[in-house]
Amino acid sequence: MDNFLNLFVRSIFVDNMIFAFFLGMCSYLAVSKTVKTALGLGLAVIFVLVVTLPVNYLLQTKVLGPDCLIKGVDLSFLGFILFIAVIAGIVQLVEMVVERFAPSLYASLGIFLPLIAVNCAIMGASLFMQQRIGLDATDPKYIGGVVDAIGYALGSGIGWLMAIVALAAIREKMAYSHVPAALRGLGITFIVVGLMAMSFMCFSGLKL
């Protein structure tokens, strides 16, 4: 439980998906024009992360890891192909379930779900998890069970949501300011994200 909380807080502030690792940057920049859509995409990312990471955790520890299927065989190199298949499959499944049982949620999240299959934040979280499973158990980044994986997923997702909503709010306000013609749009957005990342650096010394 200790490690759950630790992973949760760390992945929101210290190892923030956007500001520390630039994961999910494409959709982060494309869908951050208004707060409402940003919130929708952020929630969808949390949702998919929390569903896929535990599945990928089990896949890595029970099927792909060293000595799991056959003694002396390490199948980790198949991770890329299997993780992406799991993500694409689960996104498809989630889309169908949400459409059937929660039409109102589908109306607000629906258009974002297919986008998320190729969002690097999801794949990135799975790959980071694969690295962290191999760490020493005393390392604060160690992921040692399904619960830890859920904590990491939840934290990363919330960190991502926070980042995209903050950027969307700034961009909404920025629409009223006089930005030099050549910087307008993409250029100024990059610089704003850079400044936000700088302010997030103050969490990097956080000891948990």
Partner 1 sequence: MSELFSKKNKEAFVNPLGLNNPVTVQVLGICSALAVTAELKPAIVMGLSVTIIVAFANVIISLLRNTIPSRIRIVVQLVVVATLVTLVSEILKAFAYDISVQLSVYIGLIITNCILMGRLEAFAMQNGPWASFLDGLGNGLGYAKILIIVAFFRELFGAGTLFGINILNYECIEKAGYQNNGLMVLAPMALIILGCIIWWQRAHRKELQEK
Binding residues (CB under 8 A) for partner 1: these are 19-26, 29-30, 77-81, 84-85, 88, 117-120, 122-124, 127-128, 131, 180-191, 193-195, 197-198, 201
Sign of CA dihedral 99, 112, 127, 202: negative
Nearer to partner 1, 191 or 208 (CB): 191
Q: How far is the CB of 21 from partner 1 (least distance, A)?
A: 6
CB of 42 to partner 1, least distance (A): 17
Residues 94, 75 contacting (CB under 8 angstroms): no
Min. distance of Cβ 94 from partner 1 in angstroms? 15
Provide the total of helices (H) and of strands (E) in the chain, helices listed first.
Answer: 9, 0
Q: Which is nearer to partner 1, 96 or 102 (CB)?
A: 96
Rg (the chain; Cα; Å): 18
Task: Say how many CA atoms lie within 13 Å of 193 toward its Cβ.
Answer: 26
Q: Contact 164/42 with Cβ under 8 angstroms? A: yes
Residue among 92 and 140 whose Cβ is closer to partner 1: 92
Q: Which of 23/98 has CB closer to partner 1?
A: 23
CB closer to partner 1 out of 102 and 176? 176
- Cβ-in-10-Å burial (0-12, 13-18, 19+) of 198 comes to exposed
The answer to whether 45 touches 152, Cβ cutoff 8 Å, is no
Q: Min. distance of Cβ 3 from partner 1 in angstroms?
A: 21
Cα distance between residue 47 and residue 65, in whole Å:
26
Distances (CA, A) of 201 to 19, 94, 196: 8, 35, 9
Q: Residue 171 Cβ, how far from partner 1 at the closest point, in Å? A: 12
Closer by beta carbon to partner 1, 68 or else 196: 196
Compute the least distance from the CB of residue 2 to partner 1, in Å.
26
Q: Which residue has the tokens 């998890």?
A: 129
